[in-house]
Structure 1
Amino acid sequence: MDYNGIDTLRPNLFKDVFPYEELPRVKFNNIQLPMETSEDIWITDTTFRDGQQSMSSMTVEQMVRIYGYLHELDNDSGIIRQTEFFLYSEKDRKAVEKCMAKGYDYPQITSWIRANKEDFKLVKEMGIKETGILMSCSDYHIFHKLNMTRKEAMYNYLSIAESALENGIIPRCHFEDITRADFFGFVAPLAKNLMKLSKKYNIPVKIRACDTLGLGIPYVGVELPRSVPALIHGLRYYCHVPSESIEWHGHNDFNNVVVNSTTSWLYGGASVNATLFGIGERTGNCPLESMVFEYGQIKGNTKNMNLKIIVDIADYFEKELNYKVPDRTPFVGSEFNVTRAGIHADGMLKNKEIYNSFDTEKILGRPPLVAVNSYSGLAGIAAWINAYFRLDDSSKIDKTDPRILAIKKWIDNEYANGRTSNIRNEELKELVFKYIPNILDKEDIKAI
């Protein structure tokens, strides 16, 4: 295989963009690139690989259950297409075996290895059809972590990729730290050589573009190496990598992980890599549930996915893994659709659509709620009761109902005596049962 790269004695660390002693810089070239979203886009999962590294190790049973949840969430839509596992420990291999025994079409099971042939033996032994292979591509990694030249790294990567292809295994090449890498000096030559190997063996070779430090920039007109549009466009048109072979893997160090992942879709990458609730080292990976909602907005539907399972997964993480999803996390936090302001509560009482952007109860099984505190007023209390007890239009409590006044007097007294916290749901429920004892008399009223 020809090298064709730009070898260098000194690493190119882009110090004009990454001065280290200062914040990273965004450099502009004002080049406008076209959006070309692939007809078929999907999500891949790395909860068991990249995500699990940031939290307590999961048991075999926990991994198998979460894999089952991913399958239930996907619901044979193929939107959550793959999930990847480590293979290094007996526990990981046992979990893979049990998950493979389920026989699910989605998510497909893949693995991850370092770029050495000893690791590759594990993939063969497990009978896995696709494996990720770490291919660090910035000079930060090539020179300072691997202690190699670009040429040595290139040949090492191509050798292990070819070993996979010789055995009929699809290599998924993880271009680590691509947002600090020399695109034309190393990334592009490596990608082109991988495409030659793909053609030689007539087997797909995938490229996972890894924004390892979350340095990617989503908007056009930005220079490489930080530009997500330019990276995806360059892989497609300069390196001739097909859309279905391009996957984005982002981190959230600069708060751009969701928009960067979406941008990779918009500019032609078919898949984005994510973890449940964004678990991962430092600031985390891209939240899988967020990409489900991004997919739904771009495509106008989520096919036959069962989005209510997201809430079940969050409950499982909290109860079984002692992982608390932050309360205000979009879509999954306990308070993501809870409003506090009194004027907002009044709006919710009149029409839920005023302060709820979609039917959270229908889609997620989570009705919008109002947090009751010293500022809630009669409208806030009424809105909480209607939402918590899921009262239909014929049963709704109005803020002018005199029974609401009795509840408000109790709440006002709490804050007059020095309380500062919100009134808990259990407290409010007991107050409702005390002052509105017949609230559950109708059969069509369902308490949470």
Structure 2
Amino acid sequence: MILFENVRFLDTTLRDGEQTPGVALTSKDKVDIATKLDELGVNVIEAGSAITSEGERESIRAVVAEGLNAEICSYCRIMKPDVDYALACDVDSIHLVAPVSDLHINVKLKKDREAVRKMAIETTEYAKEHGLVVELSGEDASRADVDFLKSLYNDGVDAGADRLCYCDTVGLLVPEKAELVFSDICSAVKAPVSIHCHNDFGLGTANTIAALRGGAQQAHVTINGIGERAGNTALEEVVMTIEWLYKHKTGINTKEIFKTSRLVSRLTGIPVAPNKSLIGGNAFTHEAGIHVHGLLADTSTYEPIKPEVLGRERKIVLGKHAGKSSVTLAVKEMGFEVDDSQLHEILNRVKELGDHGKKVTDADLQTIAETVLSIEREAKVILEEYTVVSGNKVTPTASVKLKVDGQDVVEAGIGDGPVDAAFASIKKGVSGIADVQLEEYHVDAISGGTDALVEVLVKLSKDGKMVTARGSRTDIVMASVEAVLNGINSLI
């Protein structure tokens, strides 16, 4: 077998990913994510566990109804009622999970190996009789007796199982063992084997790659690596490792990875860590002057791949580590022409802000550059009035009066809170000149006490262009409004 040939991906963001504490996806959320996963090109979408609730079944049925290219799957225990619920959702396949370690068999199920074997065989046969594709999975396989595991797998295949899966349920594999185990198992069974890793020791991707090297033909993954405890193996890491480090195509549309990451982050409410590989906010962000100087000569000096491959853009951040190259590039991208003395003054002012612990946003740099160049910029969007109503049993509502290109505009909006409502009303107000999206929102209290000065940082985008902007007030809503308007005026 050729290494990494025809690797398949089962994405379990909607099942294992949703089991992240605090995450609950609506039916629409699941459809939106599933549609994006299908655009990525994953082979199987595990849409949920049909036995969970009627609401879960409605969500699975909604995903099935989209008619996606991907195979739609439901998680099932080795129990016939679970299969019946999956059948009622009209899924293509089931991920049939059998506990295989003695710890899980004896302590969790309070049964013995032969009872589990019987349940697995009977449930597999039942699912196949009803026309389902079956992926028989060994839960806690990394702590199971390998001989028992292989015999259970082979009995499952004899009962009709189409695929098998090895679950490293609490992340105890190490890469060298993973490759050896899969080399052994894949040569001993008569069906393709998947690898399903958890990231408890941070080895999810490494173990998944090692298992694929050992003969696994499908990887179970989630977007952003979300999942229970420390999460699951991240799709983006496995895909890009195979494509860029091992030089094999995966069939995944990598240019949609970043958009998918942001969609999942927004709908689950789980932020992506800034230093997360490939998709973190800092993955293609540069501040140090020497790095930017190298990038200007050749981007590969400080980037392993081009950000465009993931649907991203390179970003230069300014602060006390900024150098002449950073500022030159940043002001040029803003459309300013500066001479050496002006550049030197802008750089000094940027460093001064950085030395005081300030984050130098795009709006800050634009103000600095305009001040140094004595350019007066008239804001196209000016806040005249705003009102916010929020409280117990009251839908947060905001109304704003804006002057947009000299014209008075009054709009209202609702949201999950007063800030969200305020942004909704502003977005409506400027819709005639710009379709602005809020990408990130961050708030910090600058001082203590109930009258603390609050600093709000926002990241806004319009037609692929992105800016950051700041607002500082004692009123968090006003600080947010100020930041958003600063960003909008920078964008347009």
- TM class, shorter-length: 0.7 to 0.9
Change (3 A) 1:385 1:178: farther
Secondary structure at the aligned position of 1:49 is classed as: coil
Higher strand share: 2
1:39 aligns with 2:1: no
Gaps of 5+ in 2: 377-463, 467-492
Please list, as runs of the form range in 1=range in 2, the aligned pairs for 1:293-372 lying within 5 A after superposition: 293-297=240-244, 298-303=246-251, 305-360=252-307, 362-372=308-318
What amino acid is aligned across from residue 257 of structure 1 in structure 2?
A: G
Q: 1:209 aligns with which of 166, 169, 183?
A: 166
2:26 alignment partner in structure 1: 59
Instruction: Quote the Cα distance in structure 2 between the aligned partners of 1:181 and 1:133.
Output: 17
1:69 aligns with 2:41: no
What amino acid is aligned across from residue 40 of structure 1 in structure 2?
A: N
What are the Cα deviations for residues 135-164 of structure 1, in whole angstroms up to 9, with x where unaligned?
111111011111111112211221211211
1:412 aligns with 2:377: no
Instruction: Quote the Cα distance in structure 1 between the aligned partners of 2:264 and 2:363.
Output: 23
1:146 aligns with 2:109: yes
Instruction: Quote the Cα distance in structure 2 between the aligned partners of 1:288 and 1:214.
Output: 16
Secondary structure at the aligned position of 2:194 is classed as: strand
2:322 alignment partner in structure 1: 376
Instruction: Quote the Cα distance in structure 2 between the aligned partners of 1:69 and 1:86.
Output: 20
What amino acid is aligned across from residue 404 of structure 1 in structure 2?
A: L
Instruction: Quote the Cα distance in structure 1 between the aligned partners of 2:220 and 2:349.
Output: 50
Cα drift, residue 348 of structure 1: 1.6
- 8 Å Cα contact 1:73-1:306 kept in structure 2: yes
1:22 alignment partner in structure 2: none
Please list, as runs of the form range in 1=range in 2, the aligned pairs for 1:28-427 lying within 5 A after superposition: 37=3, 39-54=5-20, 55-74=22-41, 79-87=42-50, 88-106=52-70, 108-184=71-147, 186-198=148-160, 204-219=161-176, 227-238=177-188, 240-242=189-191, 245-297=192-244, 298-303=246-251, 305-360=252-307, 362-385=308-331, 401-415=340-354, 419-427=356-364
Corresponding residue pairs, total: 377
What are the Cα deviations for residues 268-320 of structure 1, in whole angstroms up to 9, with x where unaligned?
111100111011111100111212212323354354x4433322233334444
Change (3 A) 1:415 1:109: closer
- 8 Å Cα contact 2:255-2:309 kept in structure 1: yes
Gaps of 5+ in 1: 1-34, 199-203, 220-226, 439-445
Secondary structure at the aligned position of 1:209 is classed as: strand
Instruction: Quote the Cα distance in structure 2 between the aligned partners of 1:73 and 1:432.
Output: 41
- 8 Å Cα contact 1:85-1:109 kept in structure 2: no
Instruction: Quote the Cα distance in structure 2 between the aligned partners of 1:39 and 1:414.
Output: 52
What amino acid is aligned across from residue 209 of structure 1 in structure 2?
A: Y
1:431 alignment partner in structure 2: 368
Instruction: Quote the Cα distance in structure 1 between the aligned partners of 2:39 and 2:4.
Output: 25
Q: TM-score, normalised by structure 2?
A: 0.71
Q: TM-score, normalised by structure 1?
A: 0.77
Cα drift, residue 124 of structure 1: 2.1
Instruction: Quote the Cα distance in structure 2 between the aligned partners of 1:230 and 1:252.
Output: 19
2:490 alignment partner in structure 1: none
- 8 Å Cα contact 2:289-2:326 kept in structure 1: yes
Cα drift, residue 408 of structure 1: 1.2
Cα drift, residue 178 of structure 1: 0.9
Change (3 A) 1:128 1:80: closer
Instruction: Quote the Cα distance in structure 2 between the aligned partners of 1:429 and 1:320.
Output: 32
Instruction: Quote the Cα distance in structure 2 between the aligned partners of 1:415 and 1:272.
Output: 44
Cα drift, residue 36 of structure 1: 5.4
Cα drift, residue 247 of structure 1: 0.7
Secondary structure at the aligned position of 2:15 is classed as: helix
1:4 alignment partner in structure 2: none
Change (3 A) 1:39 1:364: closer
Cα drift, residue 257 of structure 1: 0.5
Cα drift, residue 237 of structure 1: 1.5
Instruction: Quote the Cα distance in structure 2 between the aligned partners of 1:164 and 1:63.
Output: 25
Cα drift, residue 326 of structure 1: 0.7
Change (3 A) 1:124 1:413: closer
What amino acid is aligned across from residue 170 of structure 2 in structure 1?
A: L
Change (3 A) 1:302 1:159: closer
Instruction: Quote the Cα distance in structure 1 between the aligned partners of 2:118 and 2:342.
Output: 77
- 8 Å Cα contact 1:48-1:86 kept in structure 2: no
Cα drift, residue 415 of structure 1: 4.5
Cα drift, residue 113 of structure 1: 1.1
What amino acid is aligned across from residue 45 of structure 1 in structure 2?
A: D
Cα drift, residue 98 of structure 1: 1.9
Secondary structure at the aligned position of 1:308 is classed as: helix
What are the Cα deviations for residues 68-95 of structure 1, in whole angstroms up to 9, with x where unaligned?
1112222xxxx44433322122222222
Secondary structure at the aligned position of 2:313 is classed as: coil
Cα drift, residue 385 of structure 1: 4.2
Instruction: Quote the Cα distance in structure 2 between the aligned partners of 1:61 and 1:252.
Output: 28
